[in-house]
Structure 1
Amino acid sequence: MTRRRVAITGLGLVSPFGGDPDDFFARLLAGESAVRFLQTDDRPRPLAMPFVDCRDFDAEAALGRPLASLLDRFARLGVAAAFAAWDDAGLPRAPAGAERATWGVAWGSALGGVMAFEKGYRDLWQRERDRVSPLSIVLGMNNAANAQISIQLGLGGISTCHSVACASSAIAIGEAFRRVRDGETPVMLAGGSEAPQAYAVARAWEALRVMAGADEESAARCCRPFAAGRGGMVLGEGGAALVLEDWDHAVARGATIHGELAGYGTTCDHSHLVRPAPDGQVRALRAALADGGLAAADIDYLNAHGTATAEGDPVEIAACREVFGDGGPAISATKSMHGHLLGAAGALEAIVTVLALRTGAIPPTAHLDPLDPACAGVDHVTTARHGQPLRAALSSSFAFGGSNAVLAFRAVPGQP
């Protein structure tokens, strides 16, 4: 089998800052935090926690009222990101004949349409209604986003949703990459979306005791991956998508190529549901390098999973030291600014990694002061670096259940 090169021709996201991918990336380079303090009106126990929301997102403006009314929030965020990536790739939304019969969608979401089901509970128990919306199932199903993307864009190939906790969208991108690389289809749209603001979900994460505490004043700086005294992760919502395309197909139609997806590695720790193991992460990192024909010395930047949890961060750094030795690539954890999008995190961070390679700029791990000695021994980026000759980069996603996924990217010389 002849392996095809895989071009990234479209990038799209729904940003907590309200702008496009370039605006989002510029804000990360500036160290700007999107973390805000969330206080709900639920009584007698309101949610009061740091959170990253897309409060300026207008679903009706992005999708039109008829389509928006058929989607839960996670799917609204996902379809809007997919449309943006499709437009960025220069592909028409209207079906263009039989060529799209094999084009497909691979999506990721840990929770799916949980907000639709929570609305049902509220309708039944708080509002004392007798029944829930007849759309509840189609709004809440995990494959709602990819199904609607396939319908709206006329994509007749595979349409699937991967639900693998925090590695969901990284695995979706990796599996889409394999289909294009192996010649099954010339185009795949891949990404993920998440809307974890459901009351029960937020309370469940609080009960796990891995969430950062904060108030109005401290919320923006409360997510501190790799820092001494870090308090934990911050939940976020959003959607992110990439168009993956057979290189020759992209060149033939004159598409702009943002970067190359070169490799994908995935493993399982097979040891514990919530306690990460460095060996599994090491194997995933090395698998991505081998799959992309890359050596450890070729990697100039690594976008870390970096959740700011007490247990997870040192394990990740230990794995990086094992793979890269002393020195190694520049490393940053951008969750410090955009929060943890759970199943959508891998797709959002893949976009960050592609933009780093395209621009030669590396965003920082914000608020990393002082460094936890257990996380020392690598090149942590604490302020943005510009003018970097970046050749290749990795983006890591490590999930509960021990599932690990690493994506390897190459820069494209001469691209803006």
Structure 2
Amino acid sequence: MVTCLGDLEATCLALLEGRSGVAPLRLGDPGKLGVTHGYEIQDGRPGSRPRLAGDWLADCVAEALRDAGVDPARRRVAVVVGTGLRELRGVEQWHADGTPLHLTQLHFREAVRAAVPEVTEVHTIANACAASGYALALGADILELGDADVVVAAGCDTMTESMLTVIGKVTDGTSDMVRPFDEDRPGVLLGEGAAAVVLERPEDVPEGRPTLGVLRGVGLTCDAYHETAPDRAGIVAAMRQAHEYAGTSPDDIGLVVAHGTSTGLNDPTEGAALLEVFGPDGPPVTAVKGAIGHTSGGSALMSVLVALTAMRAGTVPPVVGLRSPMPEAEKLGLVRGAPLRARPRLAQVDAFGFGGVNAVTIVEASDD
């Protein structure tokens, strides 16, 4: 994983310390965009190169396969990439100043195969902010059907002036930080980066090889309730479907990593959905966007990695940026101010996108 705070280890450490990667925006003209801050990756790439999410993605996919000890030359490896914007930033640079861009770069096949040429297939799913949750679900189906021996589920997005303009148009005033579930939440800000995990059937994992955890199930709904506004019923349906597929009940869940966008509609809707499913005595709830921003297509998978790391470490990070919980979230078990010492076995991870595209993931802690 790579975010504005660094790799997975660095990002989780910052979350535990309550640090945020927000900074004054470098991309575009803040006065025209209506956005002054963001969660950008400072990677020092030459300005003559298009700023492509595929570069981060390729690094994450290759590293995930190395960490898992999987040789794609010896096994059938499929890659499923979830994204919200694909390579829109590259298109913007091409349009603005003629920065070279090939049509093949708009799909992530070329980027992935440049790093791992032996993979058998690369799929791109453009499912808004739930995209990498959908990638997990499709990856599990590919394994279940026997169409691959190993699947890399991934997600990525980079910041674009087009999306920043949208944020600037729909936010009242200007936001200096994402504050999930806060009474005075100022609105969402964009982040960027990529994440990747390797999926294997349990019986195919060599004895003694450590694993991050177990994917128990992913609930998917596409309620098409509104172009941008979330629907509580659609979100609840995704949560209940996730538990049905995972063979779990709400009482089994020891941690929720919420979507938590800091927006006027998402946070109260998600809060109400969580209360409907879990009741007022539900599990601890945290969220990561105050630290890394809204990473669009990669956000679901990044939250999954944070959940698995927290369960392994026995420490749940607080909701960075949260000061005073909004009334709709006061009955949630929000982790505030400091990390929570806990060792849950099961976690629920929420991800919701425009158009009612929802993905809710249930993961189990590993015994390794």
Task: Say whether the 8 Å CA contact 1:282–1:319 is kept in structure 2.
Answer: yes
8 Å CA contact 1:105–1:155 kept in 2: the answer is no
Unpaired segments of 5 or more residues in structure 2?
A: none
Deviations 1:317-365 (A, max 9, x none): 1111111112111111111111001111112111111111221211111
Aligned pairs (5 A) from 1:312-351: 312-351=266-305
1:88 aligned partner, one-letter code: D
Task: Rate the CA distance shift 1:24–1:41 in 2: closer, same or farther, 3 A.
Answer: closer
1:179 and 2:142 correspond: yes
Query: Is 2:28 the counterpart of 1:32?
Result: no
Residues 209 and 191 (structure 1 numbering): CA distance in 2 closer, same or farther, change over 3 Å? Answer: same
Amino acid paired to 1:167: A
| Structure 1: distance between partners of 2:89 and 2:308 | 31
Q: 2:216 touches 2:364 (CA, 8 Å); kept in 1?
A: yes
Question: If you compute each CA radius of gyration, which structure gives the higher value, 1 or 2?
Answer: 1
1:91 corresponds to which of 65, 70, 84: 70
Question: CA shift at 1:42, angstroms?
Answer: 4.5
Note the C-alpha offset of 1:114: 1.1
Amino acid at match of 1:349: S
Cα shift at 1:182: 4.3
Q: TM-score, normalised by structure 2?
A: 0.92
Shift of 1:44: 8.1
> Quick one: which amino acid aligns to residue 167 of structure 2?
W
AA in 2 matched with 1:347: L
Q: Within 5 Å, which residues of 2 pair with 1:233-382? A: 233-252=188-207, 254-382=208-336
Q: Distance in 1 between matches of 2:315 and 2:140?
A: 25
Gaps spanning 5+ residues in structure 1: where? 1-12, 61-67, 125-131
Equivalent position to 1:112, from 71, 76, 86: 86
Amino acid at match of 2:240: R
Matched, 1:123 2:97: yes
Change (3 A) 1:260 1:137: same
| Pairs within 5 Å for 1:193-212 | 193-196=156-159, 198-209=160-171
In structure 2, the residue corresponding to 1:166 is in which secondary structure? helix
Match of 2:2 in 1: 14
Alignment-mate amino acid for residue 81 of structure 2: W
Inter-partner Cα distance in structure 2 for 1:154 and 1:334: 33
Deviation, structure 1 residue 41: 6.4
- Residues 80 and 125, structure 2, Cα contact 8 Å, conserved in 1: yes
2:125 matched residue in structure 1: 162
| Distance in 2 of aligned mates of 1:317 and 1:44 | 33
| 1:179 partner SS | helix
**Which residue, out of 48, 55, 60, partners 1:81?**
60
SS at match of 1:395: strand
Paired residues of 1:191 and 1:242 also in contact (CA < 8 A): yes
Q: How far apart are the structure 1 equivalents of 2:230 and 2:202?
A: 36
How much has 1:201 moved relative to structure 2? Answer: 2.6
Quick check: 2:35–2:164 contact (8 Å CA) kept in 1? Answer: no
8 Å Cα contact 1:39-1:47 kept in structure 2: no
SS class of match (1:352): helix
- Which secondary structure state, in structure 2, belongs to the residue aligned with residue 185 of structure 1? coil
The answer to whether the 8 Å contact 1:317/1:375 transfers is yes
| 1:155 Cα deviation from its structure 2 partner | 4.3
**Alpha-carbon distance in structure 1 between the residues aligned to 2:240 and 2:276:** 10
Q: 2:34–2:169: 8 Å Cα contact kept in structure 1?
A: no
In 2, the alpha carbon distance for the partners of 1:332 and 1:169 equals 19
1:200/1:96 CA distance change after superposition, 3 Å? closer
1:152: Cα distance to partner? 3.4
Cα RMSD for the two superposed structures: 2.3
**Whole-Å separation in 2 of the counterparts to 1:213 and 1:187:** 44
Deviations 1:80-132 (A, max 9, x none): 1212212221234xx534x32xx2000011111112211122126xxxxxxx7
Distance 1:58 1:187, change over 3 A: farther
Cα distance in 2 for residues equivalent to 1:401 and 1:232: 19
CA distance in 2, matches of 1:160, 1:372: 39
Q: In the alignment, does 2:368 pair up with 1:407?
A: no
Alignment: residue pair count: 367
Query: 2-side partners of 1:112 and 1:308: how far apart?
Result: 24
Q: 1:136, CA displacement in angstroms?
A: 3.0
Task: Quote the Cα distance in structure 1 between the aligned partners of 2:33 and 2:365.
Answer: 46
**2: CA distance, partners of 1:46 / 1:393:** 37
Superposition TM-score, scaled by structure 1 size = 0.82
Cα pair 1:336 1:366 within 8 Å, conserved: yes
Q: How far off is 1:59 after superposition? A: 6.2
- Per-residue deviation, 1:40: 4.8
Deviation at 1:225, TM superposition (A): 0.9
Give the AA of the match of 2:104: V
Q: Which residue of 2 aligns with 1:3?
A: none
